[in-house]
A and B are shown apart, each in its own frame.
Chain A
Amino acid sequence: MTELAEGHIVKGYDVDLTGLRMKFLEMGALVHDQVQRASRALIQGDADSSRTVLAREARVNEYDLSLDEDNIALIARRQPMGSDLRVVISIARAVTDLERVGDEAKKIARYSLKHHGERDIQPLGQLRRDVRHMAPLAASMLRDALDAFDRMDPKAAVRVAERDHELNTEFHAALRSLVTVAMEDPRKLQAIVESVLVLKALERIGDHAKSIARHVIYLVQGRDVRHEDTAVMAAPPSGNDTDK
């Protein structure tokens, strides 16, 4: 990626593109930490951490607006072409994903604060066990997607996308166990539905990580694979004999 931002005759262009990429990675690091912190706070019942997550959500939104502004300014001032254009477009798309991941982390933190101090009875106990399984998966998918973006590594991006089904499997297993809890005591239905929303938030974070991984394919190969399955994502770029 560094190589990609450099080498322009106009040095200020290098500075702009590098700055854009650095800011995007900063936002990525912040959002990744939001996910980890929100999940850990839920598992450990740490209200302070949950409050930190909520307080920092404003910063995620600032990054979203600021990167959007930088992108628009760069398009207006430099008229990026070729790989530079793909950098700008893929960052714009990935920022939208990151901002939504930030929202999911916020949902988890809100849930934690609402149920803070409750004893470890069902469904909270079950939810904590499920989050303990799902959160590291979701967070590592996000981290690896950002890493693939930074290193412009399509193979690593494909590996991230392939892991999404693991997270989905965990999600469905967790749903089944919550349904069991519901059948044992229907009075807990409200709490169970709220728990499902937390699990769904983690499942969505995995989807966004997969989406960022797809943007890596566009960034590097110029192929738009947003609505394609993982096999198409992994397909090598087309040869020279076509013009699409």
Chain B
Amino acid sequence: MNTPLTEEHTAPAAAPVEDSHAGINVKPSQRKHAIADLAQQAGGKTVGVVSVDDPIMSAKGVNVYYGDKHAIREVSLDIGRNQVISMIGPSGCGKSTFLRCLNRMNDTIEGARVTGSITMEGRDIYDRRQDVVQLRARVGMVFQKPNPFPKSIYENVSYGPRIHGLASDRVEMDEIVQTSLQRAGLWEEVKDRLLQPGTSLSGGQQQRLCIARAIAIDPEVILMDEPCSALDPIATARIEDLIDELRASYAICIVTHSMQQAARVSQRTAYFHLGDLIEVGETDRIFTNPRHKLTEDYITGRFG
């Protein structure tokens, strides 16, 4: 609301508006242009504060291309320790793309190219000498759909520690499995059936198993890509409660389509739009007094 609309409606050169992104209620073409202008106005300059003191990870001027498609543009954003940052925005805005840059998941996509710099504890994670497997141990990930391995509950959690050599004997491994399941709030429900398949659990339990699996290898950052979108409200509440507890030990980045969820679980919120990081700020402020018109329109449900 504080950002004035530009008077001139020049052709949007840098920000092509794809039909799929134009939003349901964007009827007149002028509005489409107005939105494109606003995005252009951002011009890589994000509103709000992108940096934090002593970040665990720091992205600077990150661009991602999928072949010819410029998926995210000049994104700079710090990830703070012991806090939850949520990434919100309409489908195709680049929030998941950005998330996947943080543990180099985009490497697995053919034709994907990442420029700019992303550092973890000051070291470039895109450096040629960076061991990607090691990086993904430090930056764990939880996906939208719970994806336990087709193995026992025990093996789901012990797999990571085993391949990373975190346990020297069975006793140590048992301890890691128990601690991880306890931290994920699942221990009490599964302690008597650790040898049953992970897939025998309910959706919410499976997702907590995936979180237990992620924290078993002692990561520093946990990335979550819509971790609750396949869960019912009660299972969602359990995960959200868990996220709040995990914050004491990890930095957490969560991509969510639910603005209420972002408002509930995160301390900072980043709003993406058509590949631009439009606005970043304390969650309390973003949801009561966003500065950019695009953020305002999105969180109030005016387009998306």
Contact = CB atoms under 8 A, between A and B. Distances in A.
Interface string A73-96: 000000111111110000000000
A237 B2 contact: yes
A83 B293 CA distance: 10
Contacts of A235: none
Given A243-B49, A243-B285, A83 B25 contact: no
A240 B47 contact: yes
Contact of B304 (A9, A79, A237, A240): A9
Nearest to A237: B2
Nearest to A240: B47
A84 B302 CA distance: 11
Interface residues of B, number: 28
Nearest to A11: B25
Contacts of B260: 79
B25 A7 contact: yes
Contacts of B114: none
A81 B259 contact: yes
Interface string B35-60: 00000000000011100000000000
Contacts of A237: 2
B282 A86 contact: no
Best-surrounded residue of A7, A10, A82, A85 (most CB of chain B within 10 A) = A82
B133 interface: no
Which interface class (under 10, 10 to 19, 20 to 34, 35 or more) fits A? 20 to 34
A221 B291 CA distance: 9
B291 A83 contact: no
A114 interface: no
A79 B1 CA distance: 19
Nearest to B279: A240
A131 to B, nearest CB: 41
Contact of A222 (B263, B282, B289, B295): B289
B289 A86 contact: yes
A244 interface: yes
A142 B291 CA distance: 30
B296 A83 contact: yes
A243 B281 contact: yes
Contact of A82 (B23, B49, B300): B300
A113 to B, nearest CB: 46
A9 B288 contact: no
A82 B285 contact: no
A85 B287 CA distance: 9
Given A9-B302, A81-B299, 16 more contacts: A7-B25, A7-B297, A8-B302, A9-B25, A9-B301, A9-B303, A9-B304, A80-B300, A81-B263, A81-B287, A82-B289, A82-B295, A82-B296, A84-B300, A221-B289, A243-B48
Q: Top 5 nearest A-B pairs by Cβ distance?
A: A222-B289, A81-B299, A7-B302, A243-B49, A82-B300
12 contacts: A7-B297, A8-B25, A9-B24, A10-B301, A13-B301, A81-B259, A82-B287, A82-B289, A220-B1, A240-B48, A241-B49, A243-B285
